[in-house]
Structure 1
Amino acid sequence: MIPITRETIQLLDQSDKMIFIYTPFCGTCHLARKILEEIEVASKGNVTFYELNAGLFPEVMQQKRIESVPCLLITTNDEPSKIYSFESLGELNSLLHSNR
């Protein structure tokens, strides 16, 4: 995963990005991260996730209307998609392919 910093925050406005929004002390976020890392490895470089620490960017949480963490924000030319449920690797993988 590629971290988003103050210097790279403009990535949020680009289309075709998948941004994992988390907080460091969130147990569910750690589980979701493992699933996303497995997807990255399995894709052999075809899928790249960015990560954003919600605690460092509260203005992004409001601007993008992020309701909770973990959240996977998928930016497109249209309205961005938000995934809050990370139930299984297979289910999430299917959702990602349907959003591409």
Structure 2
Amino acid sequence: MIKITENQLEAEEILLYIHSPFCGTCHVARQMLEQIEGIHKQDIFYEMNASLYPQFMQDNEVESVPCLFIKKNNEVKEKVYAFHSIGNIYQYLYQYKPELFQQD
């Protein structure tokens, strides 16, 4: 995962994993996302410590962590709070990052 910067928060498209370092559920969610990145052998998700970006959290009405914040075409599409399983996260990747599944 790539640590987010202020400039990257302004990107038109982003898959952002928002967490807190003291959240046990966040650690489980991180493991799922890291497994997905390992399978694809690339960084897919940006990560953000929620406590370091309070204005972003308030502006985007992020209710809790962990959160997979999905922005596409400069519009917030999803805020996923329940990760459930790797298969569940893949449903979002199929929809918002289909290029991961295109064969050369």
Structure 2, unaligned stretches of length 5 or more? Answer: 98-104
1:10–1:78 Cα change, 3 Å: closer
Q: How many residues align?
A: 96
Q: Say whether 1:57 aligns with 2:53.
A: yes
Q: TM-score, normalised by structure 1?
A: 0.88
Aligned-residue offset at 1:16: 2.1
Q: Say whether 1:10 aligns with 2:10.
A: no
For the residue of structure 2 that corresponds to 1:15, the secondary structure is coil
Structure 1: 4+ residue segments shifted above 3 A: none
Query: Root-mean-square deviation (CA), in Å?
Result: 1.3
In structure 1, C-alpha distance between the alignment counterparts of 2:36 and 2:93, rounded to whole Å: 10
Q: Say whether 1:83 aligns with 2:83.
A: no
Q: Say whether 1:36 aligns with 2:51.
A: no
Aligned-residue offset at 1:92: 1.0
Work out the percentage of aligned pairs sharing the same amino acid.
Answer: 46
Aligned pair partner of 1:19 in 16, 19, 25: 16
